[in-house]
Amino acid sequence: MAPYANSFLFCAKFMGGTRVFLMVNLGILLLNAMLGIFFNLATFTSRRGLRGNSLPLLSTVPANFTMIETSSELLPAFGILDNSGNYTSHPFVWAAQAWPYLTESSHVCLTTQSSVDRLFWLAWQAEAWTGPISVSVFAPGSNYAVAAAMISYLRQCFPNVRDRVSFHLVHTRTKPPIYTPYDDFSALNCETPEDVNNILMSLKDENEPPERRYPQNMLRNLAKRTCKTFYSITIDIDMLTPPYMSENINGFLTKHSTYSCRRCTYVIPVYELEKSVSYPPNDKEELLILRLRGKARSFHIKVYDKNQGNSHLQFWEVEPNKTADTAYSVLYNITSYEEFWEPILLQPYTAPLFDERFIGYGFTRSSQVYELAKRGYSFKMLDNAFLTHRGFQTTENYENHRWAQIEINKLWYQVFKRELHARLGLPPPAKQKPSPLHQQVLG
């Protein structure tokens, strides 16, 4: 700065005194202010920077890399057995580099779970969600080799994954991790995480029997327990948040002092997007346009309409409230509970965990919502917040084992309800008429 100051003094003396000197400085200040305003407008007014023209734009290192983060064999002896004795967990196998700061500075954590073939979704998750993300990965046997390679790839290619996402691994007691290094680095491109995930699936032993009993709720609880924020949102790995959802939820929780309501939960609607939709919507207005065009619909509306039914989304699908004092606000209260409802919830850490007896598909999420309702928790619908899922969902591709798991979990659900009612001193629940296995299973 000294040369510039001397130049200004010289100009002032040359042009006749202090008055001109002050005018020159004032002009410089005005110019800097205008440049600053222009820069901020260019940086913050466009919301499409995160979404691009197809799928969300990814923050990448150079397109190809020649080095991958290696991992030594994970030792089952250092794992933690679950209550059933069937599953072993390993928290923080890969911890986010900014984890201490993120969990201290944020009110809410995004938690999820995944099999090894769907880890690529985290490249998109970490781009839009700027808070902490806690992920439990089911990696029995040779699945661990896929997990180790794919997570290493994600952490190297996507700084947001490295900084924000903590990974925890789970395997069956009878299938400890098997580590096989990957050395074909030339095939891995930072711009195509889904393709890379498919390539790395070659590390899985083809002769290894598939593990069909997927412990969803155990994985969900592990991801939730390892994130020390007051609130959490438990999503599926392929549900995407819009940009700024983390910031907006934190702003809502701060402004409205929701810590005083320990039994309040906040419903976040989920919509399916037709595969022809080139990029997810950035905000509610864009989502509603897709809805009007038939390109978006309520999640699982054709699979099981009770999934989102009790959310009464016809009242949510209105013009966003632009008079609220925060970007997100409560649009309406859901005053009645309908059984088998499966909303995605922003909920406090005091909420009950997911019941880990439910393995595979069926009743894994609705059972927790049932318990919330019986314990007197309230449900409030958030305006402007939402999640999207790629592709319209149907039951056409459901495999037989999925239908069988639903029927088994239906029996567990009756046991779960009777036990819950007994603990809470409620009258016994009404008996449900048992239904036969799905026709596909019997066939």
pLDDT at site 55: 46
- Write down the residue that tokens 């864009």 correspond to: 286
pLDDT band at 256 (very low <50, low <70, confident <90, very high): confident
User: Both 102 and 223 in a single domain?
Assistant: yes
User: Both 85 and 155 in a single domain?
Assistant: yes
pLDDT tops 50 at residue 101: yes
User: Both 117 and 26 in a single domain?
Assistant: no
Is residue 84 in a domain?
yes
User: What average pLDDT does the segment 394-411 reach?
Assistant: 85
pLDDT at site 293: 96
Question: Which of 229, 254, 289 is the C-terminal boundary of a domain?
Answer: 229
pLDDT at site 73: 66
Percent of the chain having pLDDT more than 90? 66
User: Both 31 and 76 in a single domain?
Assistant: no
pLDDT at site 204: 96
pLDDT tops 90 at residue 165: yes
User: Both 171 and 67 in a single domain?
Assistant: yes
User: What average pLDDT does the segment 31-46 reach?
Assistant: 41
Is residue 418 in a domain?
yes
User: Both 285 and 351 in a single domain?
Assistant: yes
User: Both 178 and 145 in a single domain?
Assistant: yes
Q: Among 87-91, 307-311, 391-395, which range has the highest average pLDDT?
A: 87-91
pLDDT at site 65: 56
User: Both 263 and 203 in a single domain?
Assistant: no
Q: Strands 264-268 and 239-240, how do they pair?
A: unpaired
Min mean pLDDT across 193-197, 260-264, 407-411 is at 260-264
Is residue 184 in a domain?
yes
Min mean pLDDT across 173-187, 224-238, 270-284, 285-299 is at 173-187
User: Both 243 and 219 in a single domain?
Assistant: no
pLDDT band at 260 (very low <50, low <70, confident <90, very high): confident
pLDDT at site 183: 81
Is residue 53 in a domain?
no
Question: Which of 207, 229, 251 is the C-terminal boundary of a domain?
Answer: 229
pLDDT at site 77: 77
Is residue 115 in a domain?
yes
pLDDT band at 307 (very low <50, low <70, confident <90, very high): confident
User: What average pLDDT does the segment 225-233 reach?
Assistant: 97
pLDDT tops 60 at residue 410: yes
Residue 152 is part of which domain span?
62-229
Is residue 308 in a domain?
yes
Alpha carbon distance 57, 279 (integer Å): 10
The total of structural domains in the chain comes to 3
- Write down the residue that tokens 């700084």 correspond to: 159
pLDDT at site 393: 80
Q: Where are the alpha helices (DSSP H) in 95-244?
A: 99-105, 121-128, 143-157, 159-164, 193-200, 216-225
φ, ψ of residue 52 to 5 degrees: the values are 65, -150
Alpha carbon distance 352, 369 (integer Å): 9
User: Both 361 and 266 in a single domain?
Assistant: yes
